[in-house]
Amino acid sequence: MINLLICPSYRREVVFFSRDTPLASMPLLGQSLLEYWLSALSLRGASKAIVLAHEQPAAIVEVVGKGQRWGLDANVITESRELTPDEALLKYASELDPVPRPDSIIVVDHFPGLPEQPLFTSYQAAFRAIRQWLPSALTVDRVGVSEARPGIWLSCHSHVSPHAQLVAPCWIGQHVFIGADALIGPGAIVEDGSFIEPEVELVESWVCSDTFVGRFAKIYGSIAWGNALINWQTNSATQIADPFLLCALRRPRQAHPANWLKRLSGIYARNKSEVGLLWKHLLLHKEG
């Protein structure tokens, strides 16, 4: 069985999502849409996947490789624009099965099995789709994350203060720090590499990867994307100027495994000033 995956290009409705990475490879609960789809196709018995990429094809290649991780023969092809499914069928008919299945051509803009929950039509749609996907995020090829308690998914490589309160449903990704007396949930998602200071409240909110949330911050019904705070209910956004309140520790990373030393060196090399401010802030807390 051969499948054709079309990576979505820029969507103005969710402009923050594609500032630094293609939509198909942005981290969603620690993995990208492409990873979820390739895992699903492998379980369906697919043998080959053709991935059409318009924006940043090198980033797509970095995620997909040759498909070995999923036991697939995968090939990333660069396109001059995003093709529609009909255009892709006409162009690649010879590459597909003689009688293609109705679902053999997929626009990667939703989670597997959730076509009625598009991700990129609005921030509200994105948050609702991710909340619905939470119980399905632990695919068979994932390690290091488990359901610690009903509705609470936690990485074994994260630090959560014993005085923090986790309320289901919530997701704590890899290499996350959660400080004392923080309230995480219900409906909270903290992506990999984020630092949540003590006494922070996160309710029905999503903190993107490698994000710092400062002490006493109260984030309700919002998406923290670097130094941007997006109200997913109204699709309005504001930039936070104070790095002690909210900031990116580094540019959003690709959703693929990276070792701890490489991640730290990337943070230091790409954003020395913000990391310096963070360490100064932490030292002041310690001295106080």
3-state secondary structure 15-84: HHHHCCCCHHHCCECCECHHHHHHHHHHHCCCCEEEEEECCCHHHHHHHHCCCHHHCCEEEEEECCCCCC
Q: What is the pLDDT of residue 165?
A: 97
User: Is the sign of the CA dihedral 63, 66, 69, 70 positive or negative?
Assistant: positive
- Both 277 and 151 in one domain: the answer is yes
pLDDT at site 253: 54
Q: What is the pLDDT of residue 138?
A: 85
Cβ proximity of 51 and 15 under 8 Å:
no
Q: Are residues 201 and 128 in the same domain?
A: no
Task: Say which CATH number the domain at 252 has.
Answer: 2.160.10
- Percentage, residues of the chain above pLDDT 70: 86
Please answer whether residues 52 and 4 qualify as being in contact, where contact means their C-beta atoms are separated by less than 8 angstroms: yes
Is the same domain home to 40 and 126? yes
For residues 129 and 26, state if they share a domain: yes
Phi and psi torsions of 23, nearest 5°? -60, -35
67: left (phi over 0), alpha (psi -120 to 50) or beta: left
Q: Which residues of the chain have pLDDT under 50?
A: 256-275, 280, 284-288
Domain end marker among 86, 105, 136 = 136
Asked if residue 149 and residue 282 are part of one domain, the reply reads yes
pLDDT the model gives residue 212: 97
Say which CATH number the domain at 22 has: 3.90.550.10
Alpha carbons 268 and 271: distance in angstroms, whole number: 6
Task: Please indicate, yes or no, whether residues 183 and 269 belong to a single structural domain of this protein.
Answer: yes
Residues 80, 177, single domain; the answer is no
**Does residue 122 sit in helix, strand or coil?**
coil
In degrees, rounded to 5, the angle at the alpha carbon of residue 268 between the alpha carbons of residues 263 and 274 is 120
Structural domain count of the chain: 2
Residue 211: which of 171, 257, 175 has the closest Cα? 175
Residue length, the chain?
Answer: 288
- Residue 107 sits at φ, ψ, to 5 deg, of -85, 120
* pLDDT (0 to 100) of residue 283: 52
Domain containing 161: what range? 145-287
**Same domain, yes or no, for 96 and 169?**
no
* Residue type (1 letter), 129: A
Domain check: are 191 and 131 in the same one? no
How are beta strands 145-149 and 152-155 bridged, if at all? antiparallel
Q: Residue 38 and residue 180: Cα distance in Å, rounded?
A: 38
The answer to whether 160 and 178 are in contact (CB under 8 A) is yes
Closest-CA residue to 49 (of 25, 63, 26, 67): 67
Q: Are residues 167 and 82 in the same domain?
A: no
pLDDT of residue 20: 83
Residue-wise pLDDT for 231-245, tens only, equals 999 999 999 999 999
pTM to 2 decimals? 0.83
Residue with tokens 């992506």: 191
Assess whether 105 and 161 both reside in one domain.
no
Out of 77, 110, 136, a domain closes at: 136
How far is the first Cα of the chain from the last one, in angstroms, to the nearest whole number?
Answer: 62
